[in-house]
Amino acid sequence: MALSHWLAFVLAANILLALPGPTVLLVVSYALGHGKRPAAAVVAGVALGDFTAMTCSMLGLGAILAASAFFFTGLRWLGGAYLIYLGIKLWRAPLDAPDMPAPMLSLKRIFAHAYAVTALNPKSIVFFIAFVPQFLDLHRPLLPQMVILEATFVVLAAINAALYGGLAAMAREKLKSIAVRRAVNRTGGGLLVGAGAAALGWQSS
């Protein structure tokens, strides 16, 4: 793979990852609610979710989903419903007093949430199968190039999630007001519900 192709991919991928989406909203919500403690679990879930989505795309699942209304609709509904569920949970999340320790949270559950939100996004799967080929050199072996691009994207996604989580965790230290934290939870929950509803309604018209 030519260095110019790889650098163009890195630039495009960073722009894509910087745009707030369901995954970023989930990362920020966990960081605001629980600080830095769940950071590793969230980042690992995001990385594995992106790896799953890209691998499925490279294996042709994206084409199958795009061509099959049954499979595509099923995955869209599953992912959209899960986002709505997480949004409602965040909206209704109890608020702890600022001086009280946060309740114990299962890191396995956090990891599973981050993985599911990232991997079960049909837009990502279909996008990857349209996005990645733009940076492939058809005159060179394709498999090594796809491996390089996939590894690059997963690493960038993990770094992006860690940065968003770190910034949100630092902001959390300043959010001592219960009213402000409630507003943050409800804003994040509403955005997650909206993202889920958009996923359910995507291509329905």
User: Could you give the CA distance from residue 200 to residue 202 in angstroms, rounded to a whole number?
Assistant: 6
Sign of CA dihedral 188, 54, 38, 105: positive
Would the pLDDT of 157 be above 80?
A: yes
User: Could you give the CA distance from residue 44 to residue 24 in angstroms, rounded to a whole number?
Assistant: 13
pLDDT of residue 180: 67
User: Could you give the CA distance from residue 57 to residue 153 in angstroms, rounded to a whole number?
Assistant: 13
pLDDT of residue 38: 78
Nearest to 134 by CA among 122, 145, 118: 145
Examine residue 180 and state whether it is found in any structural domain, yes or no: yes
**pLDDT over 70 percentage in the chain:** 71
Residue type, 63: A
pLDDT of residue 61: 57
Segment of 79-83, 111-115, 142-146 carrying the highest mean pLDDT = 111-115
Examine residue 16 and state whether it is found in any structural domain, yes or no: no
Examine residue 91 and state whether it is found in any structural domain, yes or no: yes
Examine residue 66 and state whether it is found in any structural domain, yes or no: yes
Would the pLDDT of 14 be above 70?
A: yes
pLDDT of residue 84: 81
Q: How many domains does the chain have?
A: 1
The confidence band for 48, taking pLDDT boundaries of 50, 70 and 90, is very high
pLDDT of residue 73: 67
- CA distances to 9, 138, 202 from 1, rounded to whole Å, are 11, 10, 35
Contact status, residue 42 vs residue 161, Cβ threshold 8 Å = yes
Examine residue 65 and state whether it is found in any structural domain, yes or no: yes
Tokens of 65: 């989903």
Average pLDDT over residues 37-52: 87
Contact status, residue 67 vs residue 125, Cβ threshold 8 Å = no
Please give the residue that has the higher pLDDT: either 54 or 61.
54
The confidence band for 98, taking pLDDT boundaries of 50, 70 and 90, is very low
Examine residue 94 and state whether it is found in any structural domain, yes or no: yes
Domain that holds residue 66: 3-11+23-31+39-98+105-201
Tokens of 91: 């909206």
3-state secondary structure of 43: helix
The confidence band for 53, taking pLDDT boundaries of 50, 70 and 90, is confident
User: Could you give the CA distance from residue 199 to residue 119 in angstroms, rounded to a whole number?
Assistant: 13
Tokens of 200: 């359910």
User: Could you give the CA distance from residue 160 to residue 83 in angstroms, rounded to a whole number?
Assistant: 20
Examine residue 130 and state whether it is found in any structural domain, yes or no: yes
Average pLDDT over residues 179-202: 71
pLDDT of residue 152: 92
Examine residue 18 and state whether it is found in any structural domain, yes or no: no
